[in-house]
Amino acid sequence: MFESYLISGSASVQQLYDDVCKIGTLHEFAVHCSDIYQLNDRGDLRKSDFSPRNIVYVLPFIVISEVLENDVVFRLAGTLVEPIFDSHPVSGKSVKDFVPHKSRDVVQEFFQFGNERNLISLQEEDLELASGDIISCTTLGFPFADASGKKRYRVSASHYTHQEHNLIIQNAFNVSHSKVHNIRFAPLDEFMKITLENSRV
């Protein structure tokens, strides 16, 4: 299903990187992940190397999900992300509990596609809140491996804005509907190469 959203080649991946750079939160997250990537020569990211405390500014926007065979489970949700899903803590709960039933298989495939192929993802969507307000959301996600090397986690950072006032959401609003405008996947190694090259400039 998601093969058509996979991009490759320096020009396309450079454009994706440029789009990430337009949002300070996502750019800082990408640079932090590239720092982790440099720690080893395995060509992957390890969850054991990831510490949210090292990116305090981005932490409120971080989500760590564990990708299981038939489920995706929240392991951490930042303070500015969690209220989007629920007014109660979501850690340990299934991501599928917060999406329409008809979309659950698609959500599972999205996470598995990105992790099994070691891909980063950039997703742009509109979220309709229970209040009726619409906010735009851009999410950058990376595959993270466990100690055995299995791509078991997906760590993402999201940027939320209110379309009318262009403000970052800071209050508890639950999503009632979402509309995805654009999804792009890119090979982790190609994206990291460009990120590292630009961070040296």
Residues 6+ apart with CB under 8 A from 25: 57, 58, 61, 157, 159
Question: How much is the pLDDT for 165?
Answer: 47
Q: What share of the chain is helix, strand, coil (3-state, %, to 5)?
A: 35, 30, 30
Residues 6+ apart with CB under 8 A from 67: 111, 112, 115, 151, 152, 153, 154
Q: Which CATH number fits domain 3-199: 3.40.50.1000, 3.30.450.20, 3.30.590.20, 3.40.50.300?
A: 3.30.450.20
Tell me the per-residue pLDDT of 30-50, one tens digit each, with 9 for 90 and over.
Answer: 999 999 998 877 778 999 999
Tell me the per-residue pLDDT of 99-121, one tens digit each, with 9 for 90 and over.
Answer: 777 778 888 999 999 999 999 99
Question: How much is the pLDDT for 100?
Answer: 73
Question: How much is the pLDDT for 181?
Answer: 82
Is the entire prediction scored with pTM above 0.75?
A: yes
Question: How much is the pLDDT for 164?
Answer: 52
Question: How much is the pLDDT for 95?
Answer: 86
How far is residue 181 from each of residues 32, 101, 104, 123, measured CA to CA in Å?
26, 20, 18, 8
Written as six digits, the tokens of 156 are: 């993402």
Question: How much is the pLDDT for 79?
Answer: 82
Local mean pLDDT, 10-residue blocks, the chain (201 residues): 91 96 95 90 87 86 93 89 76 83 86 95 85 84 94 94 54 64 94 88 55
Q: How many CB atoms lie within 10 A of CB 96?
A: 17
Contact 81, 158 (CB under 8 A): yes
